[in-house]
Copies of this chain bind each other. A is one copy, B any other.
């Protein structure tokens, strides 16, 4: 028996889904929530196998609720079931920890099949949103590589410390060299990367992926 929690702000949807799942063998709707907060609270109490989560909800949206569920009730899986399927939503949902993404065009059979798949540790993406997902991935910035331009390892090191918010004096003591040396490295690397001051250098460091957010 698969224990399901339904989170959706519209009553008709909650009741409709409850009906649909009642018809399917092997499902039990253990609770319904009308907003994200309630979804999290109920999930903590009821420990369902899976939460069918709408995205657009008052108080705390589905993305946020999913994120919180990930940390509060990690055993419970989340399947998003929503009307919207724009690029951002899809990506955000999976980033937040959802394991499935369905639209409200899905049939009862598709939903129940998706739930089974997810509990079987698969991921489920509605074919209709597949494309959005791939688009979103393709257009997102690719994390950068190695260290670029003519930067020497030492200079890159100084740069990354600088991006960490250290002053010249702090960098110096961190590297156990004089502050003069640090300034020297800094002037060299400024020239190489075309920076005028540390702010620009830090920006460069992030864009090049030398520093992890």
Contacts and interface: CB of A to CB of B under 8 A. Distances in A.
Q: Which of A125, A141, A165, A201 has the most CB of B within 10 A?
A: A165
6 contacts: A92-B142, A94-B134, A95-B138, A97-B138, A167-B196, A198-B199
A121 interface: yes
A39 interface: no
Interface of A: 91-92, 94-97, 99, 121-125, 127, 130-131, 133-135, 137-138, 140-142, 162-165, 167, 195-203, 206-207, 209, 211-213
A167 B198 CA distance: 11
A189 to B, nearest CB: 13
A121 B163 CA distance: 42
Contacts of A163: 199, 202-203
